[in-house]
């Protein structure tokens, strides 16, 4: 079902659908624990015994037992940002990048913007919302973003995409995407409850989509309508990534003068992508320690963290699972992007030449 909002938009949108992903993820937690009778989800459909999943090399019996002993104390708690999960259940992508995957079928929004029929316009936009379900079948957990971390994307349908981790406690992400046809904004927060052999996830999010031609703002509850064809996926991809998901992780979609806070540059993410779980785990711990050190330095100075590209508003949106503080895009990234794109110099930015630094804009110096 889709509804047309004359002046404001809201609803779960992307993060209502991401609940589907974490519902599958909790089955991966079951597989991690490895006890008899528990099931894991097969991304190809159906279920299989957890031992089969273990034989794929993602974890060993002694690792499962060790992690279970360390996680027992968190039963019943919200573990969104207080527990360190093992990297062997992760995929080499952060939640900010996961948010960008919704852009894969953004050509549907171009069709909606050009469409004169208001009903077909809603069909196109609703279909765009549900298109992300294909990506959410993956059961690996994305990395939690570091406070101040960003993700930028260009070179896809004329879109400029920016996401930023704007709060750590509670963990809140904000994103903005725009091209000549639409403007998309989202604020998201996720609450969890660890139940021992499962993980319940409560997605809190507000999305807003504006079609530029008529200035229409839409709130969508996706219907069971399909007017797009799923793109062909690579065969035997280790993380069940689509071709677009691989683009999201690559530097081919990175703009000139990529911000050093970009998710692609995270050393733990890159190590996992290179199948080095030991290095991924150690790099993840180092980043988490740096984040704690930055917070300690900042608090010792009596300073609050201030996001660069999004501003906190006075708006609070109620959801079935709690209240959500709203952040709005402040337009500064567009100015930054114009200046960077007009620069005559082209600086090569990649994992080997640029150090990941989400504290680049004057927050506590932890390097």
Give the model confidence (pLDDT) of 89-145 as tens digits: 889 999 999 999 989 999 999 999 999 999 999 899 988 888 877 766 677 788 989
* CB-based contacts of 40, cutoff 8 Å, min separation 6: 27, 28, 30, 31, 47, 48, 50, 53, 139
Q: What is the pLDDT of residue 48?
A: 40
| 353 phi and psi angles, rounded to 5 deg | -105, -15
C-alpha span between 41 and 137 (Å, rounded): 10
How much is the pLDDT for 174? 96
Give residue for tokens 């779980």: 277
> Rounded to whole angstroms, how far apart are CA atoms 306 and 180?
29
How many other CB atoms sit within 10 Å of the CB of residue 244? 19
Distances (CA, A) of 110 to 10, 11, 44, 183, 240: 21, 22, 31, 11, 28
Burial annotation 254-271 (CB, 10 A radius, 16+ → b, else e): bbebbbebbbbbbbbbbb
**CB of 29 closer than 8 Å to CB of 19:** no
Strand 172-178 versus strand 160-167 pairing type: antiparallel
Rounded CA-CA distance 73/52 in Å is 28
For the purposes of burial, counting CB atoms within 10 Å of the CB of 318, is it exposed (0-12), middle (13-18) or buried (19 or more)? exposed
| Residue 220 pLDDT | 58
Q: How many helices (H) and strands (E) does the chain have?
A: 10, 13
pLDDT tens-digit profile of 176-188? 999 999 999 999 8
pLDDT, tens digit (0-9, with 9 covering 90-100), for 185-225: 999 887 766 665 555 666 677 888 999 999 999 865 544 43
> 182 in helix, strand or coil?
strand
Reported pTM: 0.72
Q: Buried (b) or exposed (e) across 89-124, using 16+ Cβ within 10 A?
A: bbbbbbbbbbbbbbbbbbebbbbbbebeeeeebbbb
What does the alpha-carbon distance between residue 258 and residue 357 come to, in Å, rounded to a whole number?
Answer: 12
Average pLDDT of the segment spanning 329-334: 96
Task: Report the alpha-carbon distance of residue 199 to residue 34 in Å, rounded.
Answer: 15
- Please give the share of the chain, as a percent, with pLDDT higher than 70: 67
């Amino acid at each position: 079902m889709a509804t047309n909002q004359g002046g404001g938009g809201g609803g779960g949108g992307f993060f209502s659908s991401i609940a589907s992903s974490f519902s599958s993820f909790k089955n991966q937690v079951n597989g991690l624990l490895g006890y008899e009778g528990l099931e894991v989800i097969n991304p190809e459909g159906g279920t299989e015994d957890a031992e089969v999943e273990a034989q794929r090399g993602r974890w060993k019996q002694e690792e499962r037992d060790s992690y279970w002993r360390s996680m027992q104390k968190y039963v019943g708690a919200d573990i969104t940002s207080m527990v360190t999960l093992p990297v062997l259940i992760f995929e080499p992508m952060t939640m900010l990048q996961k948010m960008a995957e919704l852009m894969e079928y953004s050509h549907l929004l171009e069709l909606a913007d050009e469409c004169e029929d208001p009903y077909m316009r809603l069909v196109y936009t609703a279909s765009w919302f549900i298109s992300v379900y294909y990506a959410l079948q993956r059961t690996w957990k994305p990395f939690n973003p570091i406070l101040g971390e960003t993700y930028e994307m260009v070179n896809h349908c004329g879109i400029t995409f920016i996401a930023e981790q704007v709060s750590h406690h509670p963990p809140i992400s904000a994103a903005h995407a725009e091209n000549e046809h639409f403007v998309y904004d989202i604020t998201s927060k996720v609450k969890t409850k660890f139940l021992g052999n499962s993980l319940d996830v409560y997605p809190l999010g507000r999305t807003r989509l504006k079609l530029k031609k008529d200035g229409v703002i839409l709130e969508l509850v996706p219907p069971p309508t399909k007017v797009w064809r799923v793109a062909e996926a690579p065969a035997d991809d280790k993380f069940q990534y689509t071709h677009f998901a691989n683009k999201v992780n690559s530097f081919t979609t990175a703009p000139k003068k990529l911000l050093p806070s970009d998710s692609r540059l995270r050393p733990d993410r890159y190590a996992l992508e290179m199948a080095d779980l030991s290095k991924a785990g150690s790099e993840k711990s180092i980043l988490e320690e740096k984040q704690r050190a930055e917070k300690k330095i900042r608090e010792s100075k009596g300073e609050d963290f201030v996001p660069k590209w999004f501003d906190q508003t006075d708006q609070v949106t109620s959801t079935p699972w709690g209240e959500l503080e709203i952040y709005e895009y402040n337009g500064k990234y567009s100015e930054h992007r114009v200046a960077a794109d007009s620069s005559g110099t082209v600086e090569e930015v990649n994992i080997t030449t640029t150090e990941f630094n989400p504290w680049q804009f004057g927050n506590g110096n932890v390097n």
